[in-house]
Structure 1
Amino acid sequence: MPADALHTTILDTLGRRITGGDLPEGSVLTLDGIGTEFGVSRTVAREVMRMLESFGLVRSRRRVGIVVLGMDDWQVLSPRVIAWRLLGEGRVDQLRTLTELRRAVEPLAAAGAARHASPAVRAELLEIARRMRALGEAGEGDHEEFLGLDVRLHELLLRSSGNELFGALSGLVAAVLSGRTSLGLMPALPVPGALDGHEELARAVADGDAEAAQRAMAAVVGEVQSALVEAEKPSDDGAGRP
């Protein structure tokens, strides 16, 4: 296995264990233990620990070892940390909190895009919405192409908002959208309102109508929030849905 792939495999395994609770706060890791488990050198184990430390998941302490930190220290807005958390037991809660953040930010970003987006971006948004409708009505709302278009639309809006802080959240939103699809929470046939909402959003931005763009985005993210509420309801056997 190439060195980069090996680092990534170990990093993802340990990242999922920590964010998923298998390695709770206060657990202690050692370079020798990592080396033995994964069959790697101390150099590789040390590099992986440095990467985990950069995400706020661990901290090296003298005479103790490498200590797992609690969520308050995690880089919770890192797309990688988000992806790990979406693979754990608390994935629906993670999607809920991220969707609440989106609902606070993305309507304002859409309004900003209506004011600041370039003509090329406005045209691309209209084409993306048109293509999303075609795929959705063909029952391909849970396919990779639909996801890619959805991610691109939200990325364009955030990066065209005129607010660099909103633009910096584009990776986070991509991780949320990808997570919703991978968890089976994106229907093959999107509800008509969702497709309508994306088209209304794209049209409002293209027309430079900031108020309409803000309303449309609020409706789009609100639909996601409603879907998550449904996902959290107990199923007939009393167990929560994934």
Structure 2
Amino acid sequence: LNVDETLSQKEQEIAELKDKSSHKGIHFENDAVDALQDIADVLGDRIEHTGGSGEGASRSKVGDIVIVIQHQGVPEMRIAIEAKAGSISRKKLIEQVRNGVTNRNAVRGIGLMDRKYMGKTQHVLGQEGENYIIGVDWAEDDFLALEVTYRMLRSIMIAEALRMNGTDTIDVDAIQKRLEQAKTDLGMIQSMKVQTTSAIGTLESVRSNMDVMEKKVRGQLSEAEYLLRDDEGDEE
């Protein structure tokens, strides 16, 4: 009986159960709400955690979080967020985001997922029509992609609303240019994180090899010292 192997298997089974549990999804939503609330407090918006409440005649619960944008000169506008802590296909998440937008009377939608369930080459911020699919590094409490998407959509929606109201002082092109640059920079950060992770792995491997070599060197010295003792015994 291999106790270590059995314990390791049990830990893996528990981790998988947690991964599939609804509790994990709730924790993911809560952390996302906290990250959004920090930004909303500064911008003057409102965050509603709607995951457990139904909407409309069907009482549908799609649309876990709603960002209510509040800006002087424009009516309140809503962004619906569908958060998924576990694995989900892109197609299914897009469908749920669209349903969430409709269900929560929103203008735009965000599909939020844990970065580790996205493809390695998939951008952490991808656009699907009027909506976005983004990935965050939940384990590292890194919700930068969510912040960027929230602030980006907010700027776009407010600029469009002001323009429709006849406000000509808003330079929409300049705003769009800066938002596109923010998306590009976010992609560069993602690439740098991947490279850093790879470098850390390489350094850990080198450190492990160094430890092995240090033991080998000490072993050779010990053997040489042992042979010296043998030589002393022969002289006697």
Q: Output the TM-score relative to the length of structure 2.
A: 0.25
Question: RCO greater where, 1 or 2, for CA within 8 Å and sep 6 or more?
Answer: 1
Q: Output the TM-score relative to the length of structure 1.
A: 0.25
The structure in which a higher percent of residues are strand is 2
